Amino acid sequence: MRTITVVQYDKRWPDIFLLDRSLIQGALGEIAKNIYHIGSTSVPDLAAKPVIDILLEVSGLNELDKLEPAMAGIGYVARGENGIPGRRYFIKGGDRRSHQVHAFIAGDTQIIRHLAFRDYLIKNKEVAKEYAAIKHAAAVISQNDVHRYSTLKADFIRHHVQLALIDMK
């Protein structure tokens, strides 16, 4: 069973991302169009679960599916769409998850949403502090139920993603 823990920002997270970005690029080659650090570990000074979220922009999902063995070779387990149509999801670390990859075809609106939210939190420090407080509370209330943890954050995320998309214009 996974334990939900929210910790203070770790300055090593960007370097950890860069290492796996290099591994993923090497495993996937030209299919990987862009590889971004997203999620709370990509926002300086934001408390987070110590799991590196990676956004992978690919030329095609069928091509990515064929390279599941290459991803397995660098420690990633494929989980298919895992509840989000048009996504391929990979995890690394099992119950002690260290990384997760969210892959979408180039141009998918999910890419814009993830990057907009990340950039919005970086730009809006007070919103990031509020988000950290929500995550700490959600971690306690959820009692290690990942779905409940996500649900407790959902309204905040939905609202601020909309603001982030407006802010982009």
Q: How far is CA 154 from CA 42, 99, 135, 148, in A?
A: 19, 21, 11, 10
- Would you give the distance in Å from CA 3 to the centre of its chain? 17
Q: Is 31's pLDDT higher than 70?
A: yes
Q: Judge whether 29 and 77 are in contact, CB under 8 Å.
A: no
* Top-confidence residue, 169 or 164: 164
Q: For the range 95-101, what are the long-range contacts, defined as Cβ-Cβ under 8 Å and sequence gap of 24 or more?
A: 95/1, 95/2, 96/2, 97/2, 97/51, 98/16, 98/50, 98/51, 98/52, 99/20, 99/51, 99/52, 99/53, 99/54, 100/51, 100/52, 100/53, 100/54, 101/24, 101/54, 101/55, 101/56, 101/71, 101/76
Domains, the chain, with CATH or none: 13-168 (3.30.460.10)
- pLDDT 10s digits, 113-143: 999 999 999 999 999 999 999 999 999 999 9
Burial of 159 (C-beta count, 10 Å sphere; 0-12/13-18/19+): exposed
**Full-model pTM:** 0.95
pLDDT band for 63, please (50, 70, 90 cuts): very high
Q: Is 19's pLDDT higher than 80?
A: yes
Q: Is 169's pLDDT higher than 90?
A: no
- pLDDT 10s digits, 88-109: 999 999 888 999 999 999 999 9
Q: Is 1's pLDDT higher than 70?
A: no
pLDDT averaged over every residue in the chain: 96
Reading phi first (left if > 0) and then psi (alpha if -120 to 50, else beta), residue 160 is in alpha
What's phi and psi for 40, nearest 5 deg?
-65, -30
